[in-house]
Structure formats: structure tokens, C-alpha cells
Amino acid sequence: MIETALTLFAAHVFADFVLQVRWIIDNKRRVKAFLAHVAIVAATAAVLLGAWSSGALITVAIIAISHAVIDWGKLWQSEKPWVREHPRGRLILFLADQILHVLVIVVTAWYLRDAWSEGWWSTLSADLQVQFLIVLCVSAGFTLTTRTGGFVIELFMQGFNLDESAKPNQERGKRTDSQPDERQAFEADIGLIDGGKWIGLLERALIFMLIMAQEFQAIGFLIAAKSILRFQYARERSHSETVIIGTLASFGWAIVVSWATAQAIGLLQ
């Protein structure tokens, strides 16, 4: 069961967050793009499972059909008022979608636990099977930590709005000397295009590698270094709070997913 579940989960991660290109995301409501995504889900599951027996092929079919149903439900709910009007409606919908996919994978692996043993990869030696599954775990965990983490943090941060009631107090507290010039210079420097996304991706990748290497102490230095470098540019309360929340959310996600990946690898060894 563990081998089947890990393989199907890795296939889901790759199909949703690596092989789902921008064209599919932008045109998901069109039949052609929707079916292309479902076909990628089925092909990825079939390849990683090494499906060639009837049981393994049935497993792939269940995963593909359930994925299509869940994604259709997500598209249907995405235009509902509770999603568009709630500050974190998109985040809740995204997490609900992923939880349903994982539940289907777990239930399928429970009832069709022999799908892995009936697949082509099971014909390899026991050592090679373990190495293959470890590579899948590391690859899927790295993808979840970096790319998926970017989506989650972005949706999470969209739920925060500026406290308009604090603006008058901020205006009264402004200095009249050189601060306007500094403020204008600060606002003019809007940063690199996608710079924040790449910073988050790289920091989560570093955390993943540090946890895999069991260098937990270095994570504290990484948090301190980023705080020093970024916080000196956060001259307004709203900006500083955004930096702190985003940093802690990004580090928290990376630590949890990396730890879960390490635990999954431990089950195989």
C-alpha cells in the first residue's frame, strides 16, 4: 500500500505542479485544455506506477476520472460568491481541491494496494525499487516545498488588507525633514520583476536541502539573514508586517513539507 500511495501521490504532484503548463491553467474551462490535463494525470500515474496489468490500469483509470471530477468541481465553485468575496476563498478552494485528491489516492491505494506489485517497476530488484521510490519522494517533496509552496503563500498573503484606520495616525507621525525624499526614493525602487517569488523559491529550496541533510541549525541562520536583509527596507508598518508574515509562512511551509518528506523516505528504508 505504501509504495502504491507514494507513487500515485508523486504522479499527482508532477501532473499538477510541473506538467500543468500555463496554457492549460489559463484555458482550463475549455474542453481541450481540460482533457489535456486529465490525459497528463493518467499518463504520469501510468508511467510512475509502471502499469501494465489490469489492476494497475484500473488504478490509473480511477485516479484520472476522480481527478477530472474534482477539478470540474473546483472550476464550478471558483465563480461562487464565497470564493470571490472571501479574503481567502481561493486559498480554501485550492486546499480543499488538494485534500480531495489526496483522499482519493489514499482510498485507492488502500483497496488496490497490489497496483505497485503488479506494475513493471516491481520487476526490478528490491534495492532498485527502494531507490526509485526515494527519488520519487525527494522529487515530489522538493516540488511541493518550492513550487506548490509559492502558490499557497501567494494565496495566503492575498487575504491580508491594509488597515485603513491606521493611515491618519501614520500621517500625523511623519517627519517634515528629509523623510519625503527618502519615501519617494523608496517607492521608486519597486524591486526586480518576480524578485520576491524567486527569493521565496530559493529560501524554501535551501530549507528542503538543509532538512534532508539534517542541518537543522543552519535554518535559524537563514531566517536571521533574510530578516536582516529584508526588514531594513520595510520602512512602513504595513510593509514590515507583510515581510514578517510572508517570511514565517514560507519558512513554516518549507519546514513542514520537508519534514514530511523525510518521514516518507524513512518508511521506505
pLDDT for 162: 54
> Is the model's pLDDT at 94 over the cut of 80?
yes
Of the two residues 4 and 171, the one the predictor is more confident about is 4
Query: What is the number of helices (H) and of strands (E) in the chain?
Result: 13, 0
Quick one: CA torsion of 192, 230, 228, 262, rounded to 10 degrees? -90
Residue 237's CB is within 10 A of a number of other CB atoms, namely 13
Average pLDDT over all residues of the chain: 83
pLDDT for 182: 47
Lowest mean pLDDT among 48-62, 73-87, 154-168: 154-168
Find, among 223, 201, 196, the residue nearest to 150 by Cα.
Answer: 201
Average pLDDT over residues 123-139: 91
Q: What is the pTM of this model?
A: 0.83
* Burial classification of residue 240, based on how many CB atoms lie within 10 Å of its CB (0-12 exposed, 13-18 middle, 19 or more buried): middle
- Which letter does DSSP use for residue 146 in this model? I
Find, among 30, 12, 37, the residue nearest to 143 by Cα.
Answer: 12
Identify whether the C-beta of residue 67 lies closer than 8 Å to the C-beta of residue 109.
Answer: no
3-class SS at 180? helix
- Which letter does DSSP use for residue 28 in this model? T
Kindly give, in sequence order, each residue whose CB lies less than 8 Å from that of residue 226, ignoring residues fewer than 6 positions away: 199, 203, 247
Residue 261's CB is within 10 A of a number of other CB atoms, namely 21
> Is the model's pLDDT at 107 over the cut of 70?
yes
**In whole angstroms, what is the distance from residue 244 CA to residue 63 CA?**
39
Kindly give, in sequence order, each residue whose CB lies less than 8 Å from that of residue 108, ignoring residues fewer than 6 positions away: 4, 8, 59, 62, 63, 66
**In whole angstroms, what is the distance from residue 66 CA to residue 252 CA?**
30
